[in-house]
Amino acid sequence: MTALRNIWALVEKEWRHYFGGPIAYVALLVWTLLFGLFYFAIFRAFLEYSMQTAAQGGMGPKLSLNDMVIGQVMHNMAVVALFVMPMLTMRLMAEEKRQGTIELLATSPITTLQIVLGKFLGAVGILVLMVVTGMLNFVPLWRFAAGGPEWKPLLTGALALVLVGSAFISVGLFLSSMTRNQIVAGILAFGLALIFWIVGWFDQPTAGPVMRAVGYLGITNHMTDMMKGVIELKDLVFYLSFISFGLFLAHQSVESQRWRA
């Protein structure tokens, strides 16, 4: 119970920092605005396509709000997470170093694992708030759309966004622990996350086994099935392993600094 209280205290500390400055408000504003714009543009295109299909006597592929609206918006927001997550992670450890408070943490009775988990969960909490806020855009679909979309793909899509964002956060937390400069930490986090995004392009049906293995590391390749309402064990294992490895690296980095302190 003491460990949980320590972690929760760090989560609360991070939230006070986030909402005590502009970071949380800017991240929420950018996320919500882009979520709304993507939703408006994609839903408008869906309406135009549905009217064209109706004018042709209903000829054409089956229209699906889940695939053609919700799934498309979610995929676009995964791209936005690539840019927004470094804003949440760049100060997590770098700011502690710059202000000199890392020494206080290093000499406190809090374990390194508790420090890392507290920082990580603090950022993930903001991410979850962003995802929930964005999901409110879909509420009118159940009120006004005939039949309405299915709930399951919406929930699994939200889970996919949280997992992708959490993977970016684990990378950003590690890199933030390596420097005292927030800007450097943010740029490095964005660059490394972008690399894990790009390698997913190598996973092509015609690619060789080496390229397929490299492409398997693509951080967004494992969210496609979740967007369709299908949760496979291999996808969950990938994201949990990715997050755990990022937290392990952050733990080792902070632990080495505690020994030097």
Distances (CA, A) of 86 to 31, 70, 96, 168: 13, 25, 16, 8
The residues, any chain, with a CB within 8 Å of residue 116's CB and separated by 6 or more, are 173, 247, 250, 251, 254
**For 152-174, what is each residue's pLDDT tens digit?**
888 898 999 999 999 999 999 99
pTM of the model: 0.89
* Eight-class DSSP state of 223: S
Cβ pair 127, 166 in contact under 8 A: yes
Distance CA 70, CA 140 (A): 12
First CA to last CA across the chain, in angstroms? 27
**For 45-85, what is each residue's pLDDT tens digit?**
887 877 777 676 655 556 677 777 888 888 899 989 988 99
